[in-house]
Amino acid sequence: MLFLVQIALSLLIALVTVRRPQWGIAAVVVSAALLPFEVVRTLLGTSWHPATTISIALLVVTLARDPRQVGRVLVRHTVVMPVLLVFFVVAIATSWFTGRAGDLGTLVLQLIAPTMLFLVVRARSTDRPGLPGAVARALVLVAVGEALLVLGVWSGFVPQPWLSTLEGLRWWTTDFDRMLGTFDHPLVAALWMSAAVPLTATLGAAWARIALPVLLVVAVALTGSRFALLAAVLAVVVLIFRSRVGAVGKVAALGAAAIGLAIFLGSAAGSIVNDRLEDDGGSSSARFKTIGLAVEQWRETAVIGRGFGASEQVTRNALIGNTFENPFLMFSIDFGLVAAVLFFAALIGLVVARRAGPVPVPGARLAAALTLLTLIGFNSLSTNTPIGLLLFLLLAIVPGARARAGAGAGAGAERPEDHPVTALPTGTAPRSTVGVRR
Protein backbone atom coordinates (compact mmCIF):
# COMPACT_ATOMS: atom_id res chain seq x y z
CA MET A 1 0.00 0.00 0.00
CA LEU A 2 2.79 2.42 0.92
CA PHE A 3 4.51 1.66 -2.37
CA LEU A 4 1.36 2.59 -4.30
CA VAL A 5 1.19 5.84 -2.36
CA GLN A 6 4.83 6.47 -3.24
CA ILE A 7 4.12 5.88 -6.93
CA ALA A 8 1.12 8.22 -6.81
CA LEU A 9 3.13 10.94 -5.07
CA SER A 10 5.96 10.57 -7.57
CA LEU A 11 3.55 11.04 -10.48
CA LEU A 12 1.94 13.98 -8.69
CA ILE A 13 5.33 15.65 -8.24
CA ALA A 14 6.14 15.10 -11.91
CA LEU A 15 2.80 16.57 -13.01
CA VAL A 16 2.86 19.55 -10.64
CA THR A 17 6.41 20.51 -11.64
CA VAL A 18 5.98 20.05 -15.39
CA ARG A 19 6.18 23.82 -15.94
CA ARG A 20 9.02 24.20 -13.44
CA PRO A 21 11.21 21.14 -14.01
CA GLN A 22 13.89 22.42 -11.64
CA TRP A 23 11.53 21.74 -8.75
CA GLY A 24 10.96 18.13 -9.79
CA ILE A 25 14.69 17.52 -10.15
CA ALA A 26 15.27 19.23 -6.81
CA ALA A 27 12.82 16.75 -5.27
CA VAL A 28 14.94 13.91 -6.61
CA VAL A 29 18.15 15.45 -5.26
CA VAL A 30 16.72 16.17 -1.83
CA SER A 31 15.14 12.74 -1.38
CA ALA A 32 18.35 11.03 -2.53
CA ALA A 33 20.43 12.99 -0.03
CA LEU A 34 18.09 12.82 2.95
CA LEU A 35 16.90 9.20 2.78
CA PRO A 36 19.49 6.38 2.89
CA PHE A 37 18.43 3.14 1.25
CA GLU A 38 18.10 1.18 4.49
CA VAL A 39 15.93 3.93 5.99
CA VAL A 40 13.62 3.78 2.95
CA ARG A 41 13.40 0.01 3.20
CA THR A 42 12.59 0.23 6.91
CA LEU A 43 10.11 3.10 6.78
CA LEU A 44 8.40 2.41 3.47
CA GLY A 45 8.86 -1.35 3.26
CA THR A 46 10.19 -1.20 -0.30
CA SER A 47 13.54 -1.32 -2.06
CA TRP A 48 12.37 1.32 -4.54
CA HIS A 49 13.88 4.61 -3.42
CA PRO A 50 11.72 7.74 -3.85
CA ALA A 51 14.51 9.28 -5.95
CA THR A 52 14.12 6.35 -8.35
CA THR A 53 10.34 6.52 -8.66
CA ILE A 54 10.35 10.32 -9.06
CA SER A 55 13.02 10.08 -11.77
CA ILE A 56 10.96 7.52 -13.68
CA ALA A 57 7.82 9.62 -13.25
CA LEU A 58 9.59 12.73 -14.56
CA LEU A 59 10.62 10.90 -17.73
CA VAL A 60 7.14 9.44 -18.22
CA VAL A 61 5.54 12.88 -17.94
CA THR A 62 8.19 14.42 -20.20
CA LEU A 63 7.51 11.75 -22.83
CA ALA A 64 3.76 12.27 -22.56
CA ARG A 65 4.17 16.03 -22.80
CA ASP A 66 6.48 16.09 -25.83
CA PRO A 67 8.06 12.81 -26.95
CA ARG A 68 9.90 14.63 -29.73
CA GLN A 69 11.83 16.56 -27.08
CA VAL A 70 13.29 13.34 -25.71
CA GLY A 71 13.74 12.00 -29.23
CA ARG A 72 15.93 14.95 -30.15
CA VAL A 73 18.16 14.23 -27.15
CA LEU A 74 18.52 10.62 -28.27
CA VAL A 75 19.39 11.76 -31.79
CA ARG A 76 22.07 14.12 -30.47
CA HIS A 77 23.63 11.19 -28.58
CA THR A 78 23.65 8.65 -31.39
CA VAL A 79 26.71 6.88 -29.96
CA VAL A 80 26.48 7.24 -26.19
CA MET A 81 22.83 6.28 -25.77
CA PRO A 82 23.02 3.07 -27.85
CA VAL A 83 26.17 2.11 -25.93
CA LEU A 84 24.42 2.64 -22.59
CA LEU A 85 21.40 0.69 -23.86
CA VAL A 86 23.62 -2.22 -24.91
CA PHE A 87 25.28 -2.18 -21.50
CA PHE A 88 21.95 -2.25 -19.68
CA VAL A 89 20.67 -5.12 -21.83
CA VAL A 90 23.87 -7.09 -21.25
CA ALA A 91 23.77 -6.38 -17.50
CA ILE A 92 20.13 -7.45 -17.15
CA ALA A 93 20.49 -10.53 -19.36
CA THR A 94 23.71 -11.65 -17.66
CA SER A 95 22.23 -11.27 -14.20
CA TRP A 96 18.98 -12.96 -15.22
CA PHE A 97 20.52 -16.02 -16.81
CA THR A 98 23.09 -16.47 -14.03
CA GLY A 99 20.46 -16.44 -11.31
CA ARG A 100 21.41 -13.03 -9.92
CA ALA A 101 18.33 -11.10 -10.98
CA GLY A 102 17.62 -10.25 -7.34
CA ASP A 103 20.35 -7.60 -7.43
CA LEU A 104 18.94 -5.78 -10.45
CA GLY A 105 17.23 -3.27 -8.17
CA THR A 106 20.66 -1.79 -7.50
CA LEU A 107 21.21 -1.41 -11.23
CA VAL A 108 17.93 0.51 -11.52
CA LEU A 109 18.79 2.74 -8.55
CA GLN A 110 22.38 3.42 -9.58
CA LEU A 111 22.28 3.57 -13.37
CA ILE A 112 18.95 3.13 -15.16
CA ALA A 113 16.87 5.69 -13.22
CA PRO A 114 19.75 8.24 -13.25
CA THR A 115 20.02 7.79 -17.03
CA MET A 116 16.31 8.60 -17.25
CA LEU A 117 16.91 11.74 -15.20
CA PHE A 118 19.79 12.61 -17.54
CA LEU A 119 17.34 12.49 -20.46
CA VAL A 120 14.86 14.68 -18.57
CA VAL A 121 17.45 17.37 -17.83
CA ARG A 122 18.82 17.40 -21.37
CA ALA A 123 15.31 17.40 -22.89
CA ARG A 124 13.83 20.11 -20.69
CA SER A 125 16.93 22.29 -21.12
CA THR A 126 15.76 23.01 -24.67
CA ASP A 127 12.70 24.93 -23.44
CA ARG A 128 14.18 25.91 -20.05
CA PRO A 129 17.71 27.19 -20.86
CA GLY A 130 18.37 28.01 -17.22
CA LEU A 131 17.63 24.47 -16.03
CA PRO A 132 21.26 23.20 -15.98
CA GLY A 133 22.30 26.15 -13.84
CA ALA A 134 19.37 25.57 -11.49
CA VAL A 135 20.37 21.91 -11.14
CA ALA A 136 23.93 22.95 -10.32
CA ARG A 137 22.76 25.36 -7.64
CA ALA A 138 20.44 22.71 -6.20
CA LEU A 139 23.41 20.36 -5.82
CA VAL A 140 25.41 23.13 -4.15
CA LEU A 141 22.54 23.94 -1.81
CA VAL A 142 22.16 20.31 -0.70
CA ALA A 143 25.93 19.84 -0.37
CA VAL A 144 26.26 22.97 1.76
CA GLY A 145 23.42 21.72 3.98
CA GLU A 146 25.25 18.41 4.35
CA ALA A 147 28.48 20.25 5.18
CA LEU A 148 26.79 22.29 7.89
CA LEU A 149 25.27 19.10 9.31
CA VAL A 150 28.68 17.40 9.26
CA LEU A 151 30.17 20.28 11.25
CA GLY A 152 27.23 20.23 13.65
CA VAL A 153 27.54 16.49 14.32
CA TRP A 154 31.34 16.68 14.66
CA SER A 155 31.09 19.53 17.17
CA GLY A 156 28.44 17.69 19.18
CA PHE A 157 25.70 20.28 18.71
CA VAL A 158 23.61 18.09 16.41
CA PRO A 159 22.79 14.38 16.88
CA GLN A 160 23.75 12.02 14.05
CA PRO A 161 20.73 11.45 11.77
CA TRP A 162 19.57 7.87 11.28
CA LEU A 163 21.88 6.67 14.07
CA SER A 164 19.89 3.52 14.83
CA THR A 165 20.15 2.46 11.20
CA LEU A 166 23.84 3.29 10.94
CA GLU A 167 24.69 1.25 14.01
CA GLY A 168 23.49 -1.84 12.19
CA LEU A 169 25.95 -1.38 9.30
CA ARG A 170 29.12 -3.42 9.48
CA TRP A 171 31.52 -0.52 8.87
CA TRP A 172 30.14 1.57 11.74
CA THR A 173 32.04 -0.22 14.51
CA THR A 174 35.44 0.71 13.03
CA ASP A 175 34.76 4.09 11.38
CA PHE A 176 32.09 5.64 13.60
CA ASP A 177 34.24 8.77 14.07
CA ARG A 178 34.04 9.66 10.36
CA MET A 179 31.30 12.16 9.52
CA LEU A 180 28.64 11.35 6.92
CA GLY A 181 25.74 13.80 7.20
CA THR A 182 22.43 12.19 6.23
CA PHE A 183 24.07 9.59 3.97
CA ASP A 184 24.84 6.02 5.02
CA HIS A 185 28.60 6.10 4.43
CA PRO A 186 31.33 8.79 4.73
CA LEU A 187 32.55 8.14 1.18
CA VAL A 188 29.13 8.94 -0.28
CA ALA A 189 28.90 12.18 1.71
CA ALA A 190 32.43 13.12 0.67
CA LEU A 191 31.66 12.50 -3.00
CA TRP A 192 28.55 14.70 -2.97
CA MET A 193 30.29 17.55 -1.15
CA SER A 194 33.48 17.45 -3.23
CA ALA A 195 31.40 17.46 -6.44
CA ALA A 196 29.74 20.70 -5.33
CA VAL A 197 33.03 22.61 -4.95
CA PRO A 198 33.49 23.38 -8.70
CA LEU A 199 29.78 24.19 -9.00
CA THR A 200 30.12 27.12 -6.58
CA ALA A 201 31.33 29.03 -9.66
CA THR A 202 27.66 29.27 -10.67
CA LEU A 203 26.82 31.40 -7.64
CA GLY A 204 26.36 35.13 -8.12
CA ALA A 205 27.54 36.41 -4.73
CA ALA A 206 31.31 36.82 -4.41
CA TRP A 207 31.26 35.91 -0.71
CA ALA A 208 29.53 32.60 -1.51
CA ARG A 209 32.13 31.71 -4.16
CA ILE A 210 34.82 32.23 -1.52
CA ALA A 211 33.25 30.91 1.69
CA LEU A 212 31.35 27.86 0.44
CA PRO A 213 34.34 26.04 -1.12
CA VAL A 214 36.17 26.43 2.19
CA LEU A 215 33.19 25.05 4.09
CA LEU A 216 32.89 22.09 1.71
CA VAL A 217 36.61 21.25 1.87
CA VAL A 218 36.54 21.23 5.68
CA ALA A 219 33.46 18.99 5.70
CA VAL A 220 35.03 16.60 3.17
CA ALA A 221 38.10 16.32 5.39
CA LEU A 222 35.88 15.37 8.33
CA THR A 223 34.60 12.38 6.36
CA GLY A 224 38.14 10.99 6.23
CA SER A 225 38.03 10.43 2.46
CA ARG A 226 41.48 11.07 1.01
CA PHE A 227 40.48 10.89 -2.66
CA ALA A 228 37.50 13.22 -2.25
CA LEU A 229 39.62 15.69 -0.26
CA LEU A 230 42.22 15.70 -3.03
CA ALA A 231 39.48 16.31 -5.60
CA ALA A 232 38.00 19.16 -3.53
CA VAL A 233 41.38 20.84 -3.04
CA LEU A 234 42.16 20.48 -6.75
CA ALA A 235 38.81 22.07 -7.56
CA VAL A 236 39.63 25.04 -5.32
CA VAL A 237 42.96 25.50 -7.11
CA VAL A 238 41.20 25.46 -10.49
CA LEU A 239 38.60 27.96 -9.26
CA ILE A 240 41.38 30.31 -8.17
CA PHE A 241 43.18 30.05 -11.50
CA ARG A 242 39.91 30.68 -13.38
CA SER A 243 39.00 33.71 -11.29
CA ARG A 244 39.21 37.20 -12.77
CA VAL A 245 41.72 38.56 -10.27
CA GLY A 246 45.23 39.39 -11.42
CA ALA A 247 48.29 37.17 -11.17
CA VAL A 248 49.29 38.67 -7.82
CA GLY A 249 45.83 38.06 -6.42
CA LYS A 250 45.84 34.45 -7.61
CA VAL A 251 49.23 33.79 -6.01
CA ALA A 252 48.03 35.37 -2.77
CA ALA A 253 44.84 33.29 -2.84
CA LEU A 254 46.78 30.07 -3.46
CA GLY A 255 49.15 30.92 -0.61
CA ALA A 256 46.27 31.67 1.75
CA ALA A 257 44.56 28.41 0.76
CA ALA A 258 47.75 26.42 1.36
CA ILE A 259 48.29 28.01 4.77
CA GLY A 260 44.68 27.46 5.74
CA LEU A 261 44.83 23.80 4.72
CA ALA A 262 48.04 23.29 6.70
CA ILE A 263 46.51 24.89 9.78
CA PHE A 264 43.39 22.78 9.44
CA LEU A 265 45.29 19.51 9.05
CA GLY A 266 47.26 20.38 12.17
CA SER A 267 44.10 20.97 14.20
CA ALA A 268 41.86 18.51 16.04
CA ALA A 269 39.39 18.63 13.16
CA GLY A 270 42.09 17.48 10.76
CA SER A 271 42.95 14.41 12.83
CA ILE A 272 40.35 12.27 11.05
CA VAL A 273 41.93 12.62 7.63
CA ASN A 274 45.45 12.64 9.11
CA ASP A 275 44.82 9.25 10.68
CA ARG A 276 43.70 7.94 7.31
CA LEU A 277 46.81 9.31 5.62
CA GLU A 278 49.12 7.75 8.23
CA ASP A 279 47.35 4.38 8.46
CA ASP A 280 44.63 3.31 6.06
CA GLY A 281 44.16 -0.08 7.67
CA GLY A 282 45.59 -1.95 4.70
CA SER A 283 43.14 -0.40 2.24
CA SER A 284 45.77 0.53 -0.37
CA SER A 285 47.51 -2.85 -0.31
CA ALA A 286 44.15 -4.62 -0.60
CA ARG A 287 43.32 -2.60 -3.71
CA PHE A 288 46.53 -3.68 -5.43
CA LYS A 289 45.73 -7.32 -4.65
CA THR A 290 42.27 -7.00 -6.17
CA ILE A 291 43.69 -5.60 -9.44
CA GLY A 292 45.75 -8.73 -9.94
CA LEU A 293 42.77 -10.89 -9.03
CA ALA A 294 40.56 -9.10 -11.57
CA VAL A 295 43.11 -9.55 -14.35
CA GLU A 296 43.13 -13.28 -13.64
CA GLN A 297 39.34 -13.38 -13.90
CA TRP A 298 39.28 -11.59 -17.26
CA ARG A 299 40.32 -14.78 -19.01
CA GLU A 300 36.85 -16.10 -18.18
CA THR A 301 34.82 -12.88 -18.14
CA ALA A 302 36.23 -11.01 -21.14
CA VAL A 303 32.94 -11.27 -23.04
CA ILE A 304 30.36 -12.85 -20.72
CA GLY A 305 30.13 -11.88 -17.08
CA ARG A 306 28.83 -13.81 -14.09
CA GLY A 307 25.96 -11.53 -13.06
CA PHE A 308 25.55 -8.56 -10.76
CA GLY A 309 27.32 -9.18 -7.45
CA ALA A 310 29.47 -12.07 -8.66
CA SER A 311 32.61 -9.98 -8.14
CA GLU A 312 31.98 -9.96 -4.38
CA GLN A 313 31.89 -13.74 -4.37
CA VAL A 314 35.25 -13.78 -6.18
CA THR A 315 36.93 -11.66 -3.50
CA ARG A 316 35.35 -13.71 -0.71
CA ASN A 317 36.66 -16.91 -2.25
CA ALA A 318 40.11 -15.33 -2.56
CA LEU A 319 40.01 -14.44 1.17
CA ILE A 320 41.08 -10.85 0.48
CA GLY A 321 38.77 -9.42 3.12
CA ASN A 322 37.15 -6.72 1.03
CA THR A 323 35.55 -6.19 -2.37
CA PHE A 324 37.33 -4.97 -5.49
CA GLU A 325 36.73 -1.35 -4.40
CA ASN A 326 36.54 -0.31 -8.04
CA PRO A 327 33.35 -0.27 -10.12
CA PHE A 328 35.22 -0.92 -13.36
CA LEU A 329 36.82 -4.08 -11.99
CA MET A 330 33.52 -5.18 -10.44
CA PHE A 331 31.52 -4.60 -13.64
CA SER A 332 34.18 -6.37 -15.73
CA ILE A 333 33.51 -9.53 -13.74
CA ASP A 334 29.77 -9.02 -13.24
CA PHE A 335 28.90 -8.08 -16.84
CA GLY A 336 32.06 -8.85 -18.81
CA LEU A 337 35.14 -6.80 -19.63
CA VAL A 338 33.78 -5.63 -22.99
CA ALA A 339 30.57 -4.31 -21.43
CA ALA A 340 32.49 -2.55 -18.66
CA VAL A 341 34.80 -0.87 -21.17
CA LEU A 342 31.80 0.28 -23.25
CA PHE A 343 30.02 1.69 -20.20
CA PHE A 344 32.93 3.70 -18.85
CA ALA A 345 33.89 4.84 -22.35
CA ALA A 346 30.36 6.25 -22.67
CA LEU A 347 30.73 8.11 -19.36
CA ILE A 348 34.08 9.56 -20.41
CA GLY A 349 32.53 10.56 -23.74
CA LEU A 350 29.83 12.52 -21.94
CA VAL A 351 32.44 14.30 -19.84
CA VAL A 352 34.65 15.40 -22.71
CA ALA A 353 32.05 15.93 -25.46
CA ARG A 354 31.14 19.49 -26.33
CA ARG A 355 27.48 19.82 -27.12
CA ALA A 356 25.32 22.69 -28.25
CA GLY A 357 23.92 23.90 -24.96
CA PRO A 358 21.59 26.77 -24.03
CA VAL A 359 23.51 28.21 -21.06
CA PRO A 360 26.95 26.84 -20.12
CA VAL A 361 27.35 25.88 -16.46
CA PRO A 362 30.71 26.98 -15.03
CA GLY A 363 32.49 24.16 -13.22
CA ALA A 364 30.16 21.39 -14.39
CA ARG A 365 32.70 19.58 -16.57
CA LEU A 366 35.32 19.71 -13.82
CA ALA A 367 32.79 18.44 -11.27
CA ALA A 368 31.79 15.54 -13.54
CA ALA A 369 35.40 14.60 -14.29
CA LEU A 370 36.52 14.69 -10.65
CA THR A 371 33.45 12.74 -9.53
CA LEU A 372 34.07 10.04 -12.13
CA LEU A 373 37.71 9.76 -11.03
CA THR A 374 36.85 9.70 -7.34
CA LEU A 375 34.14 7.03 -7.54
CA ILE A 376 36.64 4.67 -9.19
CA GLY A 377 38.32 4.45 -5.78
CA PHE A 378 35.59 2.42 -4.07
CA ASN A 379 32.72 0.10 -4.92
CA SER A 380 30.50 3.09 -5.56
CA LEU A 381 28.22 2.02 -8.41
CA SER A 382 27.65 -1.46 -6.98
CA THR A 383 25.86 -0.25 -3.85
CA ASN A 384 22.42 1.08 -3.04
CA THR A 385 23.56 4.68 -2.71
CA PRO A 386 22.80 7.85 -4.73
CA ILE A 387 26.17 7.96 -6.49
CA GLY A 388 24.96 7.14 -9.99
CA LEU A 389 22.29 9.83 -9.63
CA LEU A 390 24.91 12.44 -8.73
CA LEU A 391 27.14 11.39 -11.61
CA PHE A 392 24.44 11.47 -14.28
CA LEU A 393 23.10 14.81 -13.08
CA LEU A 394 26.59 16.26 -13.44
CA LEU A 395 26.93 14.70 -16.88
CA ALA A 396 23.57 16.20 -17.86
CA ILE A 397 24.71 19.75 -17.10
CA VAL A 398 28.18 19.50 -18.67
CA PRO A 399 28.31 22.58 -20.89
CA GLY A 400 28.75 22.91 -24.59
CA ALA A 401 31.51 24.77 -26.35
CA ARG A 402 32.07 28.33 -25.21
CA ALA A 403 30.64 30.84 -27.62
CA ARG A 404 33.03 33.12 -29.47
CA ALA A 405 33.52 36.60 -28.14
CA GLY A 406 30.89 38.92 -29.51
CA ALA A 407 28.70 36.08 -30.66
CA GLY A 408 25.76 37.22 -28.61
CA ALA A 409 24.48 36.35 -25.16
CA GLY A 410 26.35 33.10 -25.14
CA ALA A 411 29.68 34.93 -24.95
CA GLY A 412 28.84 36.24 -21.55
CA ALA A 413 27.09 33.15 -20.29
CA GLU A 414 30.24 31.87 -18.61
CA ARG A 415 30.20 34.67 -16.08
CA PRO A 416 28.82 33.47 -12.73
CA GLU A 417 27.43 36.90 -11.94
CA ASP A 418 25.17 36.64 -14.97
CA HIS A 419 23.29 33.81 -13.32
CA PRO A 420 21.89 34.77 -9.91
CA VAL A 421 20.94 31.99 -7.56
CA THR A 422 17.52 30.68 -8.49
CA ALA A 423 15.08 30.06 -5.67
CA LEU A 424 14.95 26.35 -4.94
CA PRO A 425 13.36 24.20 -2.27
CA THR A 426 15.18 24.70 1.02
CA GLY A 427 14.41 21.30 2.32
CA THR A 428 16.56 20.45 -0.29
CA ALA A 429 22.40 -0.96 3.63
CA PRO A 430 23.55 -1.32 0.76
CA ARG A 431 23.83 -4.60 -1.01
CA SER A 432 27.44 -4.39 0.07
CA THR A 433 29.18 -1.98 2.38
CA VAL A 434 30.37 1.14 0.55
CA GLY A 435 34.09 0.74 0.37
CA VAL A 436 36.59 -0.39 2.92
CA ARG A 437 38.69 2.08 4.81
CA ARG A 438 39.50 4.80 2.33
Q: Which residue type sits at 381? A: L
pLDDT given at position 404: 38
pLDDT given at position 401: 44
pLDDT tens per residue, range 104-147: 889 999 999 999 999 999 999 999 999 999 999 999 999 999 99
pLDDT tens per residue, range 173-207: 878 889 999 999 999 999 999 999 999 999 989 89
- The band of 399, judged by pLDDT with boundaries at 50, 70 and 90, is confident
Distances (CA, A) of 286 to 206, 223, 375: 44, 21, 17
* CB proximity list for 218: less than 8 A, separation 6 or greater: 147, 151, 264, 269
* CB proximity list for 135: less than 8 A, separation 6 or greater: 22, 25, 29, 121, 393, 396, 397
Asked if the model's pLDDT at residue 430 lies above 80, the reply is no
Between 94 and 281, whose confidence is greater?
A: 94
pLDDT given at position 246: 87
What is the pLDDT averaged over residues 367-388? 94
Q: Which residue type sits at 375? A: L
- The band of 424, judged by pLDDT with boundaries at 50, 70 and 90, is very low
| From 136-140, 236-240, 263-267, the region with the lowest mean pLDDT | 263-267
pLDDT given at position 14: 98
Cα separation, 437 vs 71, in Å, equals: 43
pLDDT tens per residue, range 18-31: 999 999 999 999 99
Asked if the model's pLDDT at residue 318 lies above 50, the reply is yes
Task: Say if residue 81 is exposed, middle or buried (CB neighbours under 10 Å; 0-12, 13-18, 19+).
Answer: middle
Asked if the model's pLDDT at residue 388 lies above 90, the reply is yes
Asked if the model's pLDDT at residue 358 lies above 90, the reply is no
pLDDT tens per residue, range 34-52: 999 999 998 888 889 999 9
Q: What percent of the chain has pLDDT over 70?
A: 87
pLDDT given at position 89: 96
Contact 12, 58 (CB under 8 A): no
pLDDT given at position 118: 97
Asked if the model's pLDDT at residue 403 lies above 60, the reply is no
CA atoms lying within 13 Å on the CB side of residue 45: 5
65 C-beta neighbours (distance < 10 Å), count: 16
- The band of 423, judged by pLDDT with boundaries at 50, 70 and 90, is very low
Asked if the model's pLDDT at residue 216 lies above 50, the reply is yes
pLDDT given at position 152: 96
Asked if the model's pLDDT at residue 309 lies above 60, the reply is yes
For the chain, what is the mean pLDDT?
A: 87
Contact 228, 194 (CB under 8 A): yes
Between 366 and 436, whose confidence is greater?
A: 366
What is the pLDDT averaged over residues 351-355? 83
